[in-house]
């Protein structure tokens, strides 16, 4: 049974919301002010499937990808970019207000740049053993086969063909195969997960694929299969050789924008702690002017950071150590003597570390986060501990999605 709804606002995941007598109804790909025709979604009484847009919003635009709405990688290609940026700023403001914080929030910085430099494609053999390689469908488990993706950076050109070739060699029958690709200076770095052990015939076939598609490296669950060239990236003054599957910011532009905001937030600090440092996108640039102590739970990332620092001239002393900051955060006594602390945790935030920072006397703190709710929680902890939230800057490196990066600068009262 179909029905007509008027969309009043957008939800936090980018779905249109219509207020009905039965409560809110969520309609993906609908915009505020639109009148739409929808049908129920089986098993989800509060969700609707969009059939037609009867009255379109003036903010509606033509999606940039032919797979939009079928592939689950993007949620907002139908909405004008300037409206997306403003909406994401509003989401950050709402998250802060939910914890009782009212801080100056800058306009959202667009950091899409050339596009995503990392992508994870999935491969699965479906009905009749037909291979599909692409991204997951919206809110579903099946794979949508794709032949192009316009949000990827030029450095990922060729990844789809390479992923198909890899999948044809090792794709299992049921469980999706994950093919993670990262752009590097020497070609694509590929880490394959879900394949199970590889026999010699498959390893030989993968080596041939690496040569044909000019891949820098192929690993399986971090284990080296073939390396044609070291997968390196320039980070500030340093060159970092990437560990397999290591975390990087989604776009190169975002990494540069975030690093600049971090440097500005740290000000004239001469001794800085960089916590959840990864391979050092902040540490290696901060070390141009300050002594840096860096820590992260990923031992391979720490090893890569140490090697990069050792091989880069002109840096101040940079110490790096593997440490689980969720279980062993830097306590207040360890933070004495630091002029500034930078922390950039995973999506779950850094509650334990924030509590120790709140007890400290560090003059300046710069918090970087990819989750607005955990950022707001950790910010509340710092403010309750005597810090003032001086500024908040949203950074959009996740174009067409509801995700947003945030940089907050705190000063001890």
Active-site residues: which are they? 370
Q: How many CA atoms lie within 13 A of 305 on its CB side?
A: 34
Q: Residue 409: name the closest of 347, 349, 351, 367 by CA.
A: 367
**What are phi and psi for residue 58, nearest 5 degrees?**
-65, -15
Other CB atoms within a 10 A radius of the CB of residue 366 amount to 27
Beta bridge partners of 6: 35
* SS3 state at 177: strand
The angle at the Cα of 324, spanning 320 to 330, to the nearest 5 degrees, equals 70
The number of C-alpha atoms within 13 Å of 89 and in the hemisphere containing its C-beta is 16
Q: Which 8-state DSSP code applies to residue 210?
A: H
Return phi, psi of residue 199, to 5°. -80, 175
The token duo for 342 is 């930078």
Structure tokens at 158: 């060729």
End-to-end Cα distance, the chain? 60
CA distance 29 to 154: 27
Contact 344, 276 (CB under 8 A): yes
Q: What angle do CA 30, 31, 35 make, to 5 degrees?
A: 75
Distance CA 317, CA 337 (A): 15
Angle between helix 200-212 and helix 159-170 axes, rounded to 10 deg = 170
Helices (H) and strands (E) in the chain, counts: 8, 23
How would DSSP label each residue in 286-337?
A: HTTTSEEEEEES-HHHHHHHHHHHHT-TTPPPEEEEE--TTTSPPPGGGGTT
Contact 284, 309 (CB under 8 A): yes
The sign of the CA dihedral 295, 299, 305, 309 is positive
Who contacts 338 (Cβ-Cβ below 8 Å, separation ≥6)? 269, 271, 272, 273, 293, 362
């Amino acid at each position: 049974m179909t029905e007509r709804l008027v969309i009043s606002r957008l939800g936090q995941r980018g779905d249109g919301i219509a207020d009905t007598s039965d409560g809110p109804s969520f309609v993906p790909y609908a915009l505020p002010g639109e009148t739409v025709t929808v049908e129920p979604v089986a098993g989800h009484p509060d969700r609707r499937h969009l059939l037609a847009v009867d009255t379109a919003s003036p903010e509606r635009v033509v999606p940039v990808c032919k797979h939009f709405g079928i592939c689950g990688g993007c949620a907002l290609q139908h909405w004008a970019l300037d409206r997306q940026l403003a909406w994401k700023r509003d989401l950050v403001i709402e998250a802060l207000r939910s914890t009782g914080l009212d801080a100056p929030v800058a306009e959202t910085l667009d950091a899409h740049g050339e596009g995503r430099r990392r992508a994870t494609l999935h491969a699965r053999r479906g009905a009749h053993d037909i291979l599909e390689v692409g991204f997951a469908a919206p809110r579903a488990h099946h794979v949508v086969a794709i032949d192009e993706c316009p949000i990827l950076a030029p450095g990922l050109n060729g990844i789809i063909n390479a992923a198909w070739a890899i999948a044809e060699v090792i794709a299992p029958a049921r469980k999706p195969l994950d093919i993670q690709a990262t752009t590097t200076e020497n070609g694509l770095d590929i880490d394959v997960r879900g394949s199970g052990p590889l026999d010699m015939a498959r390893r030989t076939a993968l080596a041939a694929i690496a040569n044909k598609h000019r891949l820098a490296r192929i690993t399986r669950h971090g284990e080296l299969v073939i390396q044609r060239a070291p997968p390196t990236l320039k980070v500030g003054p340093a060159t970092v050789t990437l560990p397999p599957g290591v975390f990087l910011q989604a776009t190169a532009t975002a990494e540069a924008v975030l690093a600049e905001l971090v440097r500005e937030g740290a000000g004239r600090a001469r001794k800085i702690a960089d916590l959840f440092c990864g391979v050092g996108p902040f540490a290696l640039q901060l070390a141009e002017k300050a002594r840096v102590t860096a820590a992260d739970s990923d031992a391979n990332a720490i090893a890569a950071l140490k090697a990069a620092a050792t091989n880069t001239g002109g840096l101040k002393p940079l110490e790096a150590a593997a440490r689980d900051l969720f279980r062993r955060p830097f306590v207040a006594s360890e933070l004495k003597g630091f002029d500034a602390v930078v922390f950039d945790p995973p999506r779950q935030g850094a509650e334990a570390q924030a509590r120790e920072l709140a007890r400290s006397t560090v003059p300046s703190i710069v918090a970087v986060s990819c989750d607005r709710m955990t950022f707001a929680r950790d910010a509340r902890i710092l403010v309750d501990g005597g810090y003032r939230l001086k500024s908040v800057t949203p950074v959009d490196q996740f174009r067409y999605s509801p995700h947003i990066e945030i940089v907050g600068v705190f000063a001890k009262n």
